[in-house]
Each structure stands twice: as structure tokens, then as C-alpha cells.
Chains A and B, each alone.
Chain A
Amino acid sequence: MAEVKDKSISMLNRALDNVLDGDLTARVDLGLISKEYRGIGEKINEVVDVISKTKISKISKSIEFPNPASIFTPDGRRIDTNFLAAERYFRRPRDEIIGERIEALYTEEDAERIRDTFEESKRTGFSSCETTVRRGDGTTFPAVLNFAPVKDEKGSVINVLGTASDVSELKKKERELKAEKEYISDIFATMPDPLCIVDLNGTRTDCDPAMEEITGITREELIGKPAKIVFVEEEWAECDHAMKEVFKTGHATHLERTILAKDGRKIPVSAHVHVRRDADGNPIGAIVALRDVSEIKKREEELRLVLNNAPVGIMRFDRGGTILYENPAAKEISGVPEEERGRPKGIGMKITNMPNIDVTTSIEWMEKISSGERVSDRVRFKSLYGKESMLAAEVVPTFDEKGEVDGVIALIKDVTELEEKRREIERLSTMVENSGTPIALLDPTSRWKYVNPAFEKVFGFKREEVLGKLGFETPMITGEAKKIITEKRELYGKDAVTFELPLVKRSGEIVHILLTQTCIYDEKGEVTNWVGELNDITELKKREEELKEARDYTQNVLDGAAAPVLVFDRNINLNYVNSSFEQATGYTKEECIGDTMDEFMSKILKEEDVARMTDMAGRIASGEVVHSMPLTFLTKERRELPALLSIAPIKDVEGDIVGSVVTAMDITDLKRVEEALEYRADFENLIATISTNFINLHSDEIDTGINRALQALGEFAGIDRSYLFLFSEDGTMIFNTHEWCAEGIEPQIDNLQGLPINDFPWFMEKLNRFETIYTPRVANLPPEANAEKEHLQLQGIQSLIIVPMVYNRSLVGFLGFDSVRAEKRWAEGAIALLGMMGEFFANTLERKKMEDELKAKNTEMERFVYTVSHDLRSPLITISGFAGMLKRDIENSKREDVETDLLMIEDATKKMDHLLRDTLELSRVGRITNPPEDVSFKDIVKDALDQISGEIGSEEKDIEISLEDSISKSKKEKIVHVDRERIVEVLTNLISNSIRYIGDQSKPKIEIGYLRDENVFFVRDNGIGIPPDQHEKVFDLFYKIDKKSEGSGAGLAIVKRIVEVHGGRIWIESGGEGNDKGSTFYFTLPEPDEVVKNEE
């Protein structure tokens, strides 16, 4: 408790101290003080309140504020004021102004404002206003009034404290500042260059009208935006950087920028950035001054264009000879290669140090530069780039502002060519002056301008007599000359015109002049001069005339020559060809003469020959003599013309070669004969080869051989198809058996099988006469060959040859050679050779046929031998078997069996004998023949039946044997040309065969006859028949269908043999096996005439 007490006491003490110190804020917080002291605290607070109400009016007396200060009642009446203020500022006694209303001290016009400000202070706690103080002595001064209310603890205003300060000095300064500001802003506003103020962030804070004008953006829009945005966007980064640099270093800077105006124009400007600083020297922003340099840029560009495109080299040197500038032309002239001209090669270098200019040149240049005078000269220039030239240099000094030479501008021009031309002209005029040929120069109006001394000498006229006169007025001109010149004038042009002109000398003598007239043009293409060269050809003319006569004579002779003759001149150009050449080659003289050797050769020779004869010109030039060199010319129609060439040089009196004469002998005919011979030889060779091959061919290979031969012939002859046809056995049809086709040619072989020969009457007629049919043009076949024509045209054949194939005087087939794609003409010899070929083919085929037959015979023979050996062995085996048995029986004393054994052996022996006899008989059929005779078939049948009658009887079979109607009733007897006995044998064999196999028949019957109109004979029975698989076998020797049947089985084999020996065939037709089926044996026999033919 004591503590609280103490704390309260100390608080009260502190408050009292504060009060005593005059601190009126020192009120006691009653809540913190213990109850017993709370009364004291209330008292203290009361005191404080009283004091604070009263004390303020007193305190001001004791404090001397430097400025006037007053205390006012809340309604604005002055309670007190400090003495100093009253005296010094208001210049009125203090007491006088106390009690006055506040506005009394100020001018009347300010009174209301002051009152308002006063009232405002009561509401807001503070207010201020400017006003003018009216002093006691009548003067005024500007002042600022400040009011602050004094409030009691409840917040009510009890007093208002007011102070005034004299601002007359401030006002003065302000006025001055304002004047200055206006001045600056005037400047700012009237500046033609855009300006803007930028703060440290680079934001534009102000700008001038020029800025608005150049950008087209209003000031309002510009201010407050980053300064960079008026520039083109690509420069922004750079702007930021530059700005930063400027603020960092503080240095003003100069920049090139481009403004992007609102309308899209880009305006180049130069920007000057100046840093603004505050009073302490810290940067606060920058002033950016821009200048529109587009005009300057344009000028610069123009200047650059001028300099870059100036045809003269322009260089600027300083006085020391250092290159400050050189334009491209200068670089070009000094020989800097094009690819290096873009670089500032020589700039900054002293001319004497330039590595690409030699010392002499650089010294010469240095002299010109340092002289400081205007110099115009030519210098030899030799650059290290290897260019040597003559330069015309114009060196012009330039002056600085002080009027002193600060360098030179050098204009240079490469005058190498001009210089050369000048020299050339000098040379030419010397030549003209000294020329032996009269030369004259006329102006475009035909007025004589110049003649050379030779002119004077030749014509005998002095220059003065001629010069200045018109062309036709001069004394040399004859009437004829006038006429000629008038005619020729039309030809005057760029090219020189040359013509002959008779002129007259002073002596009256006529001179033959060869005038060469040339025009000289200026650069505009206008004639400036006519130059005439007047060669005296009087003498030449005379010679020429003589020469022409001689030449005409020679040409007449050569033209008459039968062989083509060509003459080459000294330069190996073609000088002459004769008529015979023209006729042979089709080229006219005009087309050839004047040709160089190369031109001529490419015209007249094949390409490969041109390539081969490149040395020809050289050989001719060297005077080589060539005899009969074979060469093929090409005529104008590109036909080949084989020739033999002879070349001989032509020499002049001194023996120098002045040309050469070439004679060509046309050997076309010779060649043709040669080629024909060669062709024939080749053809013969081919045929010989084919023939040899044929002879050596194995019969299996003959088909291949024929095909190969057809191909070889076809390919050799260059035809499209070769083929072979054979006749059918009966000769009524043709078969295409072999064919070769060239590539791309449709084979016909499949379409040409079994064609009736009647379809080709015309061909057959010729072929039957063994004629070769040569048809070079199918379309031209005669009307009687229409059938053939149609057939051939159907296959698209244009030409063909048909060669008969004849063997043994009979037509076996034919060879054919077709041309499909083009017509083909065959040489006579070739046709004959093909005829031979037909024979070869026929022989070969016949040989094949014979060989095949032989082979068949061999096979047959083998089989025969096999059969016979088997059949002959059979009884032998029986014999040997029973012989063995016999031996055993004897050993075993089996007598009863001995007899049987012997019987068996005997039987077998007999059988064996039979077989051997038959075999012998069969072989005899072939070997022993009676001469054939013409005999009636009827007679043969009669003989046979006579022989067989006994047999029929013995068989006791009632068999009816009859002659068929064809024999019995025929008026004309059928005559055959045969070995009579043998054919009787055939019939007896066949008849007894029929009897043997007649079987069980109620009406056994055998018929003999022949087919009407054919040479086929038959024996027919109605016996047991023969199964088809036995039709061939029955003719085998010893073959018996039934072993039990009688006979050895050799009969039919013998029959077949006899028929075949007669050149006929035998075959069987049968209804098959079984009673009543019957069999017919057919066979052919030779007719009388045929037999006769064969005998021959």
C-alpha cells in the first residue's frame, strides 16, 4: 500500500514540477493515483486548467519570436501579440493593436480571405494564407499568415494562435524566378529543334512544340511516357543503354537516332543528351535535344551516290599525302580488284607507304599533292596489283578556314586507251603520209580534206589543186568515174566498199584505181570523214586479163575432163572444181569454191573419213603426191560415191608450191561389181557351209540343222521369214514343217498346215516344172496368180522366192523366203544359188527319210532275229531235253520210255527243218526275184485259186471263194506290174490263212477283189477275226495267234515281205476277235506306168 502511496506522491510531485516548469500538458491521470491523493490530483488538474487558460496570454509577453505572433479569441479579436512583431513588422505600438479584430492589420481586399482562413483553422487545426500587411506608416509587405487553435480538454477552441512572416524577400525572388522561367520557357517554346526533359527513369516529363511537330504526337501524349518510344523500336535497347551510360558517367552525349513519326515516316535525328543535376550536383534527369538530320542525310547520300558513281576517280589527301577518301572509281583505276573495292583499302595510308603503288608513282603523286597548286598532268601508274596504266590527274588544293591549304582533291582518270589511241593516230598519220598508196580524206559533204604525198605522185596533182574542192570537181574524175561513184555511193556504210574506178592523171593518162572507201564515224554514229585508198591497179589489170585468158583456157580443159577435178590454192582453200565434179557430187561450183579444206571435207566426206583425214591439208600443203587413194565422197543427196583420189602439187616458176590439183575417179560401178562378187562369194560360202553341215548331220539333228540353215540364209539375205513346206504323202496338201522368222516377225507355221495344193494353182504349175518362183513385188503378181496373191497379202508378204525341192526328179516340197517389212530384190546369182539350196534341202530330207527307214528296218531286223532265234531254239530245247531223258532212260534201263524220247526228238527235228525252210523262203523273197511283168490281176487270182483248190478240198469245208464284182464284171482288166509268181504266193497265203481261221461257219466265205479307181487289193473273209492289237503282230515271222493252229507262222511274214518288195503296203481291217467278225487283208501293188518309171 505504501508503494502505491509513494507512486502517487511521486506522480503528483512530477506533475507539480511540470506545472511549475510551465508545461501545461502535465495533467494527472486520476485512475493511477490512490484514493487518498485523488483530491490533490484533481486540484492540480484544476490549477493546470486555469493556468493554461490564463498563462498563454502572459507567456507571449516573455517570449520574443522573430516573427509576429498573436493570440486571438475564437471570434478573431487579438488578445495579445509579441512586442517585437508589433514594432518591427506592423510599425504600431503593441497595446494599440491588442483588442483589434484580426483583419484590421491587412488590406481590405484580403479581409474576407483572412477571416475564412481563420475559421478554417478552427475546423482543421491549421490553416495558412498569403496576404499583405498594412503597416502603421502606410507601407505594406507581403506576409504569410498561419493559424492554429488552442483547445481545452473538452476539445472546444479557447484561443487561436496566429503568426505572420514577412515574405517580401521571398516574393521578390519568386518574381525574378518567374521571369527567368518565362524566359526559358519562351526559349523552349521557340526552339526549332525538338527538346524534351527526361527524368532518371527515362520518362519524359516535358517537351517542346517542335517535338510535337516532328513526331506528330501531342505533348499530352508524349509526357509521362518513356522517352525512347518516339524512336523506331529497334533502337529502344540502345536508348536504354545510352541513357544509363549518361546517368552513370554524367557526361553529355551525342547519338544518332531515328524517330518514328505518327504517320509512319522515319526521320533521322541527332540527339544531344545533357544531364540535369540538383543543387548538390546529383543527376536528376536529362535534357534531350534532337535535330532533324534527314536533309543532311539525304545530302550525304547524294554526295555518296555522286562519289560512288562518278566516272572519274576522286581522292582526297591531306597535305602529308595521307588518303582521306577514295571513291570506287579511284579504286578501280588504281587496279584494286573488284572484290576488295568495298573495303576502305587505302584510306588512312600515306601515298608513299601504299604497298600497291610503286615508288616512282607515289613520289610523283606526293609532289603534286604537296605543291598545293592546282596541277593537271598525266602520270604513269603501276600498281602492285599488276596494272599498268596512264592516268590523267587533276589535283585541286583545298583550304581550311584560315585559307591555308589543308589537302588536295585528286581527280584521276585512266587514259591508257586514249593515250594508245592518240599514239595510234600519230602512227597512222605517219603511215598515211608515208604510204605508197594514194590516200584521200573527204568530209561528209564530199569536200576533199587531205591527200597524201603518194596521191600527188600518182596523179601528178598538187594538194592545193584538190583540197577544199567537192569530190566531182576535182580534175581526176572522169565521166565514167562519176557514174560508178554515184552507183556505189548507196553501198557506203560501216563496211569498207571496194570497187574499180578509172581516173585521169594530170598527164591525161587513165589510171585504173581500186578504190577502197571507208567511212569514219564519230561516237554519235555520224560520218565525220570518208577515207579512200586508191590503189593503182593499171598494171595488175593488164596482168589479170592475161591470166584470165590462161585460166579460162585451163578451166575449159578441166571442165571437159570426164573425171572430177579440184584445185586447191596456196592456203589449201578450194579454188576450183570442174563440171564433172558438179555432176558427180551435186554440189555447184558456187557452193564449194572458197571452202577451206575443213569446210570442204565436212561437206563431201563421211564423218569418220573427216576424222581420219585431218592431216590432209598439211599433206597437200607439203606438196605430197598421192596416187589412187580410195575414198568415199558423199554427194549433196548424201549418197556414197566411192572414188580413187590422186593429188599432185602445183608449183610456180620458182618451184614453190602454190596449190594442188586433185583428180577423183568415180569407181561406183567398180565397187558395185566388187560388192556383187563379194556378196556372191559370201553366199556361196554360206551355202557351202550349210551343205557341209547337212552332210555331217546325224539324222536326229536334221530338223535342227534345217532350222539353222533357214536362219543362216534368212539372216544373210536380210529377209524376214524363211521356211520349208513338204507335200503330204498323197501329194494333195502342203505342210509347213520348218520356219525361221526375223525378230518381230509373226511366225506363220501354225497357220500353214495341211493347205490343199489346189489353193495355189499358179505356184504349183511352176513348181511342178521345178521352176524357182521369184516375186519381187507380190502386188504385181499376174491375175492368174490371184489366189496366191490374196494368200500372200494376207500374211503381209511383199516379196518372196519359192524354190522347189526336188529329189529323184520328183517334187517333195519347197523352200520359201519372205520379205514382209520391205520389198526385196534378189541378185540373179543368189536366186540360182537358192535353187541349189532347194536340192540340198530335198536331199537332206530324203536322206533323213531313208535313214529313218533304215533305222526302222534295223529295229525290225533285230526283232526278227530275236524272234527267229527264240522260235528256232524251241525245238532245239526239246531235242536237248529229250536227249537228256534218253540218256537217263538208257542208264536206268527204262526201255519203255526210250521210244517216246526218240519220237519227241524226231518231231522237234522236223519242226526245226520247217522253220529253217520258211526262214530261207522269207529271205529268198527279197533276194531272188523274177523280172516284173504286166499281168492282169484276174489271172493272178486264177493261178492262186488253182494252187489252193486241193487245200480247200482237203479241209472239207464248204467255203465259197468268189471274185468281187470289180474283177468279175470290170470291162477293163486291172493290170499290175509285178513278179507274177510272188503275187500268186501272196494270194495263196492270204487265202489259206483265211481258210485256216474261218472258224465254225454256217456260210464260210472268202472274197478277193480291189478297190475301184485305186490300187488297193484285198482278200476278205468272214472268219474269226483278229483283235486290233494283233494286226501288226500277225505279220511277224512264226507268229501264231493260236499255237495249235497249223503252219509255221511264216506265211503272213512272207506275204508282207513280197508286198513290200513291190513297193506296196499291207494292212488288216477286222471287226475284232470272234466268229463272223471277219478280216480283210488289204495290199497295194504297182501299176504298169509307175513300175516303168521306177526302172528308169
Chain B
Amino acid sequence: MRNRVNKPVILLVEDDDSHVMLVKRCLNDTNAAKEVCRVSNGKDALDYLFRRGDYADEEEKSPRPDLILLDLRMPKIDGLKVLEEMKGSKDLMDIPVVVLTTSENKDDMVRAYRNHANSYLVKPPDIDEFGEMMKETYSYWLNWNRRPK
């Protein structure tokens, strides 16, 4: 990593534990995260982001992520719904979201981008591609967010 200081805090939204393991390995191997927080469904993800429910008043435990890795198919609330809600929020819309899903369905992909996903990756990710994408997405958004407003 060129700049270690600037590694992102990542929120991983994933219901499947083994997939969590896999993603964490990838992040680890590519040295792409400063910290990884995990939630296992859409409802928890939204609670985390909007700081409500279990995550209310728990700022230390749930730092604001710099980037979100989001699965689509999840119980309770699915990934698309999460996307729609957080991208509709002024506070959260600047956080880049990488959709990470098993679905190669074109509809899903289109719908994800339509809901303002920043990138779409099919599981299992190629580790090199994953690493480059993470770096690029993050630095882009970092710069974007730092631009004079």
C-alpha cells in the first residue's frame, strides 16, 4: 500500500459466514483495510449506518466506514434496499459501496448501479482484481470527498 495511513475502515455486509471469511482473507492479503466491521443482514447494516437499534450510541464500536462491501441476497432486508436507503441519505451518500455478490444476474447488476452502487464484483473475487479495485475506488472517493466544496 502506498499510503498506509489512508487505508479505509470497511463495513462488510454479508450473511454467509464462510463468505465473510473469504472476504476478510482477501482484504487481509491485499492489505486494503484499516479496520473491518461486519454485519450479517441488511437490517443490521442500516441500523449500523444510521446508528439506531443495537448500534445507537455506539460510536466507538461502529465507526463510520470509508467503504462498504455489500452482499445483495440477505434475509430481512436485502442489499438493494440498503443501497437505496443509504444513498438517499445526505450523510451517507458519499460512502463508496462495492457490491459483492454471487449473482451474475444482469438485472441485479443494473439495479445495483441504478441504486448508486460504485462498483459491482462477483464472488469469489479474483484477489488481484479485488485489491486494485479497492485501492482505486477508495482513493477516488477519498479525493472526491476532499475536493473543495
Contact = CB atoms under 8 A, between A and B. Distances in A.
A881 B124 contact: yes
Contact of A878 (B16, B40, B73, B125): B16
Interface stretch (B4-12, B17-25, B52-60, B82-90): B17-25
Nearest to B18: A878
Among A873, A877, A882, A904, max chain B CB count under 10 A is at A877
A904 B21 contact: yes
B40 A885 contact: no
A888 B76 CA distance: 36
Contacts of B125: 881
A897 B103 CA distance: 28
B101 to A, nearest CB: 10
Nearest to B23: A881
B40 A1043 contact: yes
A897 B127 CA distance: 15
B124 A877 contact: yes
Contact of B73 (A870, A907, A1041, A1044): A870
B18 A875 contact: yes
A877 B102 contact: yes
A877 B123 contact: yes
Given A882-B22, A904-B21, A1043-B40, A874 B127 contact: no
Contacts of B18: 874-875, 878, 904, 907-908, 911
Interface string B62-101: 0000000000011110000000000000000000000000
Interface in B96-119: 102-103
Interface in B12-34: 15-19, 21-22, 25, 29
Contacts of B73: 870
A884 B123 contact: no
Contacts of B29: 885, 888
B19 A877 contact: yes
Contacts of B76: 1041
A1039 interface: yes
Range, interface on chain B: 20 to 34
B124 A884 contact: yes
A907 B22 CA distance: 13
A888 B127 contact: yes
A1042 interface: yes
Nearest to B16: A874
A870 B103 contact: yes
Given A884-B127, A888-B29, A1043-B40, A878 B75 contact: no
B120 to A, nearest CB: 15
Given A885-B22, A904-B22, A1042-B75, A880 B102 contact: no
A1040 interface: yes
B75 A1040 contact: yes
A619 B47 CA distance: 107
A880 B41 CA distance: 23
A247 B19 CA distance: 150
Nearest to A866: B105
A936 B15 CA distance: 43
A911 B17 CA distance: 12
Contacts of B41: 1043
A1044 B40 contact: yes
B124 A870 contact: no
Contacts of B40: 1043-1044
A312 B75 CA distance: 131
A260 to B, nearest CB: 115
Interface in A845-886: 870, 873-875, 877-878, 880-882, 884-885
A908 B18 CA distance: 8
Contact of A1043 (B15, B25, B103): B15
B102 to A, nearest CB: 5
A1041 B75 contact: yes
Contacts of A881: 19, 22, 25, 123-125
A515 B107 CA distance: 119
A687 B144 CA distance: 75
Contacts of B102: 870, 873-874, 877
Contacts of A904: 18, 21-22
A283 to B, nearest CB: 130
Contacts of A885: 22, 25, 29, 127
Nearest to A1027: B76
Contacts of B19: 874, 877-878, 881
Contacts of A884: 124, 126-127
A882 B21 CA distance: 9
Nearest to A880: B124
A881 B123 CA distance: 8
Contacts of A1044: 40
A997 to B, nearest CB: 13
Nearest to A867: B73
A1043 B124 contact: no
A911 B22 CA distance: 16
Contacts of B17: 1043
B79 to A, nearest CB: 13
Contacts of B75: 1039-1043
Nearest to A885: B25
A737 B10 CA distance: 59
Contacts of A1042: 75
B141 to A, nearest CB: 26
A885 B124 CA distance: 10
A873 B102 CA distance: 7
A326 to B, nearest CB: 117
A835 B113 CA distance: 60
Nearest to B123: A877
A946 B16 CA distance: 34
A878 B15 contact: no
B70 to A, nearest CB: 16
A900 B24 CA distance: 13
Interface string A896-907: 010010001001
Contact of B16 (A897, A1041, A1043): A1043
Given A884-B124, A907-B18, A911-B18, 14 more contacts: A875-B18, A881-B19, A882-B21, A882-B22, A884-B126, A885-B29, A885-B127, A888-B29, A904-B18, A904-B22, A1039-B75, A1043-B40, A1043-B41, A1043-B74
Q: Top 7 A-B pairs ranked by shortest CB distance?
A: A881-B124, A878-B18, A881-B22, A1043-B15, A877-B123, A877-B124, A873-B102
23 contacts: A870-B102, A874-B16, A874-B102, A878-B19, A878-B124, A881-B19, A881-B22, A882-B21, A882-B22, A885-B25, A885-B29, A885-B127, A888-B29, A900-B21, A904-B18, A911-B18, A1040-B75, A1043-B15, A1043-B16, A1043-B17, A1043-B40, A1043-B74, A1044-B40
